[in-house]
Chain A
Amino acid sequence: MSNLAPITQSHARADWDQGHHNRLEATWKGRPGFWGWFTWSHHKEIGIRYLVTALCFLLLGGILALVMRLQLARPENHLLGPDQYNQFFTMHGTTMMFLFAVPVMFEALATYFVPLMVGARNVAFPRLASFSYFLYLFGGIVLWAMFLLNAGADAGWFSYVPLSGPAFTPGHRADAWSVMVMMTEISAVCVAVEILVTVFKLRAPGMSLNRIPLFVWVETIVAFSVIFALPAVILSSLMLLLDRNFGTQFFNPAEGGDALLYQHLFWFFGHPEVYIVFLPGAGVISTLVATFSRRRPFGYLAIVLSTVSVGFLGFGVWVHHMFATGLPLLSLSFFTAASLMIAIPTGIQIFCWLATIITGKLWLATPMLWVFGFFFIFILGGLTGVMLASVPLDLQAHDTYFVVAHLHYVVIGGAVFPFFGAIEYWFPKITGRMLNEMLSSVFFWLFFVGFNLTFFPMHLVGLAGMTRRIYTYGVDRGWGELNYIETVGAFLMGLGVLFFVINLILSARRGRVAGDNPWRAGTLEWATSSPPLAYNFLYIPVVQERETIWEDEAHPERAGVVTGLRDEAREMLVTTVVDAYPDHRLLLPAPSIWPFWAAVVVCGTAICTVFQPWAFVVGSLLFGIVLIGWFWPSEEETAAQHKGEKWDNATS
């Protein structure tokens, strides 16, 4: 029995209560000031940090691509030498995959939107969220610092051995890469655990599993994929670090090691990785298609099961990245079958979206431009994927520009286009202002046309023999014209992105005020102000149906909110996994600077250990101390806990 007010459901749509608001605001808002900034552990702030940082990496990676395209625009060009070019393409791929794609599609969007969409005030482990962000940031800084010192990683974004091993890449280039990978991927795993617990235990009452928004389902399944896939690359990077700096023999065939072990581990991670990047894009498409067809998405169950299938099957296709390595043909054929099979659930999702659009009342708002772009580009990419799934065909196209075309069509079509659509859609929620429509349209068309100009010719030039990762090519190859066109297209894309950045900055300050729900959408993030207040919802809503807002508008008598949670402490309501019945109260820890220091210690330890093995011991001890600081309860917390429990001190 506790000394707190009971938790109940109130059947009135709660009126604004200024006192309640003031107390909630005081409890949930972050500490002000310079050092205060480092303590913030609220999901919206962390989400914005991820978004902004990832966008910076997108721009950096894009600039690298533009310079690469300048080098390749003409045969036998001299803008970049081989060493520089190798660093550029390694950094481009690494930045885009590890520092932009996963952080933006998973960590950023999930951290910001999942709690809002499930009706919670924060994520389950706020300090872990802060730690994860700083770990990601530091990992990216380490990698780029090395690059800017002309000692950047240069063995490809996948860093195959033996090339990246101790014999063929001296110095610490590949070590910086490995350290960054370990840090960002540990960061992603932490976020995954957090999202899973938030989705399973912190949903608003009444939001049973079959009422969870599709976007949240997708991020949950992606979180599972992250947990099962990322340890493989963490391990392969660790093994690479050990081989390079401590003399281990994991990948050295002369001492019983195996170069293909690295590839198996890397691609066991690498293929689920691309689904980790694509699936949230599909989740965004489901969201946008529903809102702008003015109906709930058709095929909710089919889409959920398809997403689960893709997540699961994604673990069974990794060898299709290794078709040329000489493994037995029969085993390779299993992977062809699995790779083709993945097209089925993906196709089902596409058919469901088409059905939603056709049977709905389509509203051609600006975010829908990106949906149509997705339909064009991603589907094209998926079809070239079917080609590549075939072993004999892949043996011709593998490691050529055909694959470069394919991967950009699926990643940009399947993730980046939905991402820009998501920004168009959710920018009003995050900032309270609408993006400028004209700038958005200009951006879209420049980007769409530029993209196709850049990447479509690559299919042709790849089949014409142009291999990947080459800094130049001979005049007599005949690839010059197509490459020139590709470079023009790339700069069109760049120009479009410039419009995008200008739009973001201008609209954040002077855009049209958006209001709570400018798109009149149905999911819970629109049931609060734009931008949401520190505590998200004045009262936690009680959910009766899937598109809560639409249902509440149609049946206002059924709407309800939760009362009885404390507003002077950071309290959240924990509900059951399947049906979201209220279960118990949870007191979240206060914002703290310890997660920041923890990330600093991890980063410092990782870097120093590369140079001096004993640094690992010292760093671990420091980490232990920081962890104690992190978990040591403060006076305030203990007092809040005491108030919330009746506990007999007689036995102490």
Chain B
Amino acid sequence: MRFSDISALAFSDPLSGNQSALNPTGPDATRVAHLWLIILIISIAVFALVWIALLYGIARRPGGDADPATPILDTAASDRISTRVVSIAAAITVVTLFFVLISSVVAGRLTSEPVGNQKHIAITVIGHQWWWEVQYPNTEADRTVITANEIHIPVGVPVEITTASRDVIHSFWVPNLTGKHDLTPGYNTAFWLRADRAGDYRGQCAEFCGLQHAEMGFHLIAESQAKFQAWENDQLRPGATPVTAQEQRGQQVFVRSECMMCHAIGGTIAGSRLGPDLTHLASRQTIAAATVPNNIGNLAGWVVDPQHIKPGTLMPPNELSSGDMNDLLSYLQSLK
């Protein structure tokens, strides 16, 4: 029986979902979930003991609280007993906390180190207001994957993520797999994770970063080695050359509009890194940092007026004629 099954029984649906720390699918999150369970059991015991003592005190009280009783001035005898009891309770507290400390330090050690000497995948995640730039660095430039808001990893392979931020502090968090790590300007921290089960895990920015902090999500997809390799190869292909006339017109619309001021598409002259790289836009399941599904309706709405979907986002609205819009959409949807 998996941990998530227990939590689904005891609590409610979202805890067994794809953004839940209590539905661990990687070694780090699993260790943390177990640690949490241990401390939870200790906590329940402590709470119960305190309340038993308190209820005992309430039950022991003299009858009739209408009038305040004369105060007890000589408490020496009961104080001697109390001293002994409190000292024992304090000692037990110390021992318990020490146990928690050891468990925590051990769990922390294990979660911060890579598993074994297997080869690993290196990913760089760069935080922007309000999207994630994802790079799979390689010494050869044309073997470097650059994408946005969607990360693919093979199951069972350790992944080292290095962080950076282009503006304010963000925090990378995918609860099913591991704890969160801040992306602080001026710092490049690195951490590890590994997925032991295939799945589509949702992550979200976990450090308040401004107007659209709420809608700065991403998907981390763990898949078989074969599927991952296929995805990586697709991402490494240069930008799709438009085939149909409509797609060609669409590319022209892209290049002559404001789009290329912020967005890059491989194979065109558009190379700006201010906004997400769109070379393989159509391969992604969501747009606007996991805010809405990637379909033609949402894409159209986003291009015309991003402020409607993510008020405050840095992308301006774009007025396009319906013909231009259809062409552009057709082109964008060809970018697999």
Contact = CB atoms under 8 A, between A and B. Distances in A.
A389 B104 contact: yes
A393 B184 contact: no
B57 A357 contact: yes
B147 interface: no
A162 B185 contact: yes
A197 interface: no
Interface string B33-63: 0011001101100110011011011101110
11 contacts: A82-B211, A324-B181, A358-B56, A362-B61, A365-B68, A387-B36, A398-B180, A399-B206, A465-B202, A550-B71, A550-B73
Contact of A163 (B181, B210, B312): B210
A588 interface: no
A13 interface: no
A363 B61 contact: yes
Given A329-B109, A380-B47, A396-B175, A340 B101 contact: yes
A356 to B, nearest CB: 8
Contacts of A168: 129, 167-168, 210
Given A259-B185, A362-B60, A396-B179, A470 B214 contact: yes
A390 B180 contact: no
Looking at B40, B53, B73, the one whose CB has the most chain A CB atoms below 10 A away is B73
A520 B171 CA distance: 55
B9 interface: no
A347 B90 contact: yes
Interface of B: 11-15, 17, 19-22, 28-29, 31-32, 35-36, 39-40, 42-43, 46-47, 50-51, 53-54, 56-58, 60-62, 65, 68-73, 75, 78-79, 81-83, 85-86, 89-90, 93-94, 97, 100-101, 103-105, 107-109, 111-112, 129, 163, 167-169, 171, 173, 175, 178-182, 184-187, 189, 191, 202, 204-215, 291, 311-312
A519 B68 contact: yes
Interface residues of A, number: 96
Contact of A361 (B54, B62, B79): B62
Interface string A550-582: 110010000000000000000000000000000
B32 A396 contact: yes
B178 A395 contact: yes
A431 interface: no
A464 interface: yes
Given A302-B86, A324-B171, A379-B50, A344 B94 contact: yes
Given A362-B62, A365-B65, A396-B21, 19 more contacts: A162-B168, A294-B69, A324-B206, A344-B97, A347-B93, A351-B89, A354-B53, A354-B54, A357-B57, A398-B179, A399-B180, A460-B11, A463-B175, A468-B208, A470-B214, A472-B214, A478-B12, A478-B13, A481-B12
Nearest to A472: B214
A326 interface: yes
A383 B208 contact: no
A299 B43 CA distance: 25
A360 interface: yes
Nearest to A380: B47
B38 to A, nearest CB: 10
